[in-house]
Each structure stands twice: as structure tokens, then as C-alpha cells.
Amino acid sequence: MFQNYLKLLKTLQNIYKTTPFSPINNPHDVSIKLLLDLQTKAHPILSTNPYLSKLSQLLRNIKTLLEKLEKYQGYGLKSLLCRQITKYKISQVAYAIEAEIQAYFDRKSVQNLVKILEESENEEEKVKVLIEFIKRRVRELAALAIEALASFNRKCVCGACVNGINNSKLDINGV
């Protein structure tokens, strides 16, 4: 049963990491269809595990939001506004799904670490598990630092471009 959880969660995680999940551009995207199909198959597995019940609820929420998005395909003001709000909610739920999956893997990793540290008599095994855990945390921290740096650079470059455009308009108007 535990292997089913891991396989399912790895599949979900791969969908979010490798396939561009974009209901904003195309609500009929292959990744969305794959996600909805997986949600249907995953419900029996996810609903029985108390640690994964929130993930199961989030998957149901995203399915409901995608169905809602399908209803708002008109070009009237109400449809446009509802579509934008729904797309925003979908992106928030997608982010929460990814966070829940990561939280589950983190929980299992820590449980495994504690179990080996408490139960194992082999010092080499304990050191190996600790080193692996530290490497993983370092990779995660490095990824967060790179993401923050990219965000900072994007804001600086965009700000400089906007300021450059504004300054060039002033120069043109001043001539």
C-alpha cells in the first residue's frame, strides 16, 4: 500500500514539474486531462491516508474549478471576470497541491531518518542517512536561493526597463 502512495505522489509531482500546467492558456491541456484522470484513480488511495486527505480535497477542488472555468467561456464582462478569478484560484490550488506533495515526502524523509537513528546499531548507516538528509536540505536551500535571486533580477530588470521607457518618453516630449 505504501508503494502505491509513493508511486502516485511521484506521478503527481512529475506532472507539476515536467508538464506545463496552464489552465490559463488552454483549459483542454493534456496535463489537465492527465491530472483529472489521475485524481479519479487516486481518490481511493488518497482518501484512506489521513496525511493525504488534504491532497485529495485539493485535487477535488481543482477539478471543480476547472469545470467552473469551462462554464465561463463567453466574452461578456461577467464571463471575463469570473474566468480571471477562477484561473487565479486554480493557480493557488495547484501551488497548494505541489506543497502538499512535498510536505508528504518531507514527512516521510524525516520519519525514515528518525527511525534509522533510533533503531539502527550500525553507525555507518546512521552517518549515511544523515549525510543524505543534509545534502537534500542543502539542495532545497540552494533552489530557494536561486529562485529568490531570479525573482529579484526580474524585478530589477523590469523596473529598469520601465524607468528607461519613462525616461525616453520624457526626452522625446522635452525636445
SS (H, E, C) 67-115: HHHHHCCCCCHHHHHHHHHHHHHHHHHHHHHHHHHHHHHHHHHHHHHHH
Q: Among 62, 113, 116, 67, which Cα is nearest to 91's?
A: 62
Q: Among 21, 102, 105, which Cα is nearest to 65's?
A: 21
pTM over 0.75: no
Give the CB-side neighbour count of residue 18, counting CA atoms within 13 A: 8
According to DSSP, residue 74 is labeled S
Q: Do 96 and 58 touch, CB atoms closer than 8 A?
A: yes
Identify the band that residue 175 occupies on the pLDDT scale cut at 50, 70 and 90: very low
Residues 6+ apart with CB under 8 A from 89: 65
For all residues of the chain together, what is the average pLDDT? 78
**pLDDT tens per residue across span 60-89:** 898 899 889 888 888 889 888 998 999 899
> Could you count the other beta carbons within 10 Å of the beta carbon of residue 53?
13
**pLDDT tens per residue across span 77-122:** 988 899 899 989 988 988 888 888 888 888 888 898 899 889 988 8
C-alpha cell recorded at residue 134: 543534509
Q: Do 83 and 72 touch, CB atoms closer than 8 A?
A: yes
Residue ranges of domains in the chain: 1-119, 123-175
pLDDT for 170: 47
